[in-house]
Chain A
Amino acid sequence: MLLIPCPHCGPRPEIEFRYAGEAHVARAADPGAVNDQDWAEYLYFRSNPKGIHFERWRHVSGCARFFNCVRDTVSDKILTTYPAGEKKPDLGTLMKEAGR
Chain B
Amino acid sequence: MRFSVFNLARQALSAHRNWPEQWRSPEPKNAYDAIIIGAGGHGLGTAYYLAKEHGMRNIAVLEKGWLGGGNTGRNTTIIRSNYLWEESQGLYEHAVKLWENLSQELNYNVMYSARGVMMLAHTIHDIQVFKRHVHANRLQGIDNEWLTPEQAKEFCPILNIAPNMRYPILGAALQRRGGVARHDAVAWGYARAASAMGVDIIQNCEVTGIRRDANGAVSGVETTRGLIGTKKIGVVAAGHTSVVMGMADVRMPLESYPLQALVSEPIKPIMPCVVMSNTIHAYMSQSDKGELVIGAGTDAYTSYSQTGGLHITTHTLDAICELFPNVRRLRMLRNWGGIVDVTPDRSPIIGKTPVKGLYVNCGWGTGGFKATPGSANVFAHTIAKDEPHPINAAFTLDRFRTGRLIDEAAAAAVAH
Contact = CB atoms under 8 A, between A and B. Distances in A.
B338 to A, nearest CB: 15
Contacts of A18: 300
Given A1-B309, A15-B311, A40 B253 contact: yes
Interface in A62-85: 71, 73-76
Contacts of A55: 301-302
Nearest to B310: A1
Contact of A48 (B252, B400, B401): B252
A73 B301 CA distance: 9
A71 to B, nearest CB: 7
A44 B344 contact: yes
Contacts of B303: 73-74, 76
Nearest to B309: A1
B255 interface: yes
A17 B300 CA distance: 9
Contact-residue bracket for chain A:
20 to 34
Interface residues of B, number: 24
A37 interface: yes
Contacts of B256: 48, 73
Given A14-B311, A46-B253, A73 B305 contact: yes
Interface in B14-70: none
A50 interface: yes
Given A48-B242, A48-B256, A41 B309 contact: no
Contacts, number: 70
B400 A45 contact: yes
A53 interface: yes
Given A19-B300, A36-B401, A36-B402, A2 B253 contact: no
Contacts of B251: 41, 45-47
A9 interface: no
B310 to A, nearest CB: 6
A59 to B, nearest CB: 13
A21 B301 CA distance: 8
Interface on chain B toward A: helix, strand, loop, or mixed SS? loop
Given A14-B309, A40-B401, A45 B252 contact: yes
B253 A45 contact: yes
B254 interface: yes
Given A43-B344, A45-B253, A48-B255, A76 B305 contact: yes
Given A2-B309, A40-B253, A41-B251, A73 B302 contact: yes
Contacts of A19: 300-301
Interface in B371-416: 400-403
A39 B256 CA distance: 21
A53 B311 contact: no
B201 to A, nearest CB: 24
A50 B242 CA distance: 9
Nearest to B345: A44
Contacts of B402: 36
B324 interface: no
Contacts of B344: 43-44
Contact of B253 (A14, A15, A21, A44): A44
B305 A44 contact: no
A55 B303 CA distance: 12
B356 to A, nearest CB: 18
A1 B311 contact: yes
Contact of A46 (B255, B301, B310, B311): B255
Report, nearest first, the 8 A-B pairs whose CB atoms are least far apart. Answer: A48-B242, A44-B253, A19-B300, A40-B401, A1-B309, A44-B400, A40-B400, A19-B301
21 contacts: A1-B309, A2-B301, A2-B309, A17-B300, A22-B255, A39-B401, A43-B344, A43-B400, A45-B253, A46-B251, A48-B242, A48-B254, A48-B255, A48-B256, A48-B302, A50-B243, A50-B304, A53-B302, A73-B303, A73-B304, A74-B303
Interface of A: 1-2, 14-15, 17-19, 21-22, 36-37, 39-41, 43-50, 53, 55, 71, 73-76
